[in-house]
Amino acid sequence: MADDSAARIVAALRLWVADAPAGTRLPSSRALVAEHGASPVTVQRAIRQLVGLGLVETRPGVGTFVSASGPSRPADYGWQTSALGPRTGRAALSSTQRASLPDAIGLHSGYPARELLPERLVRAALSRAARAETALTRSPVAGLPELQAWFAAQTAVGAPPGGAPAPRDVLVAAGSQSGLSSVFRALVGPGRPLLVESPTYWGAILAAEQVGVTLVPVPSGAHGPDPDEVDRAFALTGARAFYAQPTFANPAGTQWPAGTARAVLDVVRARGAFLVEDDWAHDLAIDAEPRPLVGQDADGHVVYLRSLTKSVSPALRVAAVVARGPARERVLADRAAETMYVSGVLQAAALDVVTQPGWAGHLRAMRRQLRDRRDLLVASVREHAPQLHVEHVPAGGLNLWARLPDGTDVEQLVREGEARGVLVAPGTEWFPAEPSGPYVRLNFAGEDPSRFPEAAALLGAALKAVV
């Protein structure tokens, strides 16, 4: 019956589109529901069919519009199969990078909503940076000295004397993803093993695959990895690096206890290896403070990454890689070969934002908002989708990591949820090998938290349909 309704809506809209100029906005999903007496799921299914036919195009957050070109004969790209050869790595975008359909509830993104960002500070900083010398000059390869000094000072908080990195140890990168690629190329290399927590950040898995690194999963739970398992993995593989997120890990939101952190660092030192510490959520603390390990290491075992993209603005892709000794020189050489240098305008704007008096106030306000959103989504899931088990309520970050009933087809659930108007990220993307169970990741920092109960109810209904 739903398919028949969708077919009728498609037929009606095809006639409507045929008479409408290119770029005309379609009626909203709510208007179509009222006009055709159909459910929102059926309307979304009809819209997707029109998109597939090339008749309309969706613009996230804006609406659906008549396509400028309309349907046409598909181009023949078959010749590229031989030219490209076998595929290496992942071909598709992560689910977190998908655009949302109009009126859909997006819990899949990896970024905070616009209202959580310091918009006024960012706009003012960009305006000032555009008028400064940095708008017309080449930046140093390692980054603006003032920004290097700021990042170095941040790592000194709580560090023992002599433990904190110096400003010259800081290399500015165009986002932590770019920094990860350089670190993996410079310090690990193609065909070499790299220990990683499992689950772990999908972007790190992607960066490692692109470099040709061999990933070695180490199980990680609510209290981080077992130091003995880390040591065993080093011994078995001969690896010389371990990529980890000790603070508010993506996706699970866990923070290593101090004892685990010390024990893992001791293992890394004993093995003469590197700990690649990804401090992506440093500014996203909720109920606990970040405890970077880089300040506890004076001998260059910890290679540290910290990004400002999540807390300042996605448009300011500015991050730091902290490395000492010969490791710094190798990462710097790779950075110079890959990007030459990072835009001075972006660096100056980022530095301007984080050194304004209003920055500390913004972080305090964001912490309160993240706590409210997290608690609302947790409560909504527990009330409306009790089949999802939130194993750990994160003390920081942006996400909930929810386990599904054993045997759930995660990809089918994601599709069923999308058909009902809620987007979630399949947990399979965060495992470097076979998943240890069925999971989904839910972002509690997205747009319109008032719809969290609705989203949980839709997800619960989707789960009942696939289990």
Q: What are the boundaries of each domain within the chain?
A: 2-66, 95-116+360-466, 119-354
Q: Does 72 score more than 60 pLDDT?
A: no
The whole-angstrom separation of Cα 283 and Cα 248 is: 10
Residue 47: the pLDDT is 87
Burial of 458 (0-12, 13-18, 19+ CB in 10 A): buried
Task: Find the mean pLDDT for residues 316-328.
Answer: 93
Please, are residues 215 and 224 in contact by the beta-carbon 8 Å criterion? no
Question: What letter does residue 28 receive in the DSSP assignment?
Answer: P
> Per the structure block, which two tokens stand in for 453?
């109960």
C-alpha–C-alpha distance, residues 281 and 290, integer Å: 8
Torsional sign, CA 275, 436, 90, 82 = positive
What pLDDT does residue 2 have?
55
Residue-level pLDDT at 277 = 97
pLDDT bin (cut points 50, 70, 90) of residue 466 is confident
- Tell me the per-residue pLDDT of 394-406, one tens digit each, with 9 for 90 and over: 999 999 999 999 9
Residues 434, 446: Cα–Cα separation, whole Å: 29
Q: Is 62 helix (H, G, I), strand (E, B) or coil?
A: coil
Q: Which has the minimum average pLDDT: 99-113, 122-136, 371-385?
A: 99-113
Q: Whole-angstrom Cα distance, residue 376 to residue 285?
A: 17
Helix (H, G, I), strand (E, B) or coil at 131: helix
The lowest-confidence range among 75-79, 155-159, 175-179, 397-401 is 75-79
Question: What CATH number does the domain located at 95-116+360-466 have?
Answer: 3.90.1150.10
Banded model confidence at residue 87, pLDDT cuts 50, 70, 90: low
To the nearest whole percent, how much of the chain has pLDDT over 70? 93
pLDDT of residue 104: 81
Residue 55 identity? L
pLDDT at 281 over 60: yes
Q: Give the confidence band of 338 by pLDDT, cuts at 50, 70, 90.
A: confident
Q: What is the pLDDT of residues 111-135, one digit of tens each?
A: 899 999 999 999 999 999 999 888 8
Q: Which residues pair with 206 in a beta bridge?
A: none
**Do residues 286 and 368 touch, judged by C-beta distance below 8 A?**
no
| DSSP secondary structure code for residue 158 in this structure | T
The average confidence (pLDDT) of the chain is 89
User: Which tokens belong to 408?
Assistant: 């759930």
**Is the confidence at residue 308, as pLDDT, over 90?**
yes
- Note the pTM of the prediction, 2 decimals: 0.83
3.40.50.150, 3.40.50.720, 2.160.10.10, 3.40.640.10: CATH of 119-354: 3.40.640.10
200 with 243: CB under 8 angstroms? yes
Domain 2-66: CATH class, spelled out: mainly alpha
Same fold, 2-66 and 119-354: no
Contact predicate 274/302, CB 8 Å = yes
Contact 41, 4 (CB under 8 A): no
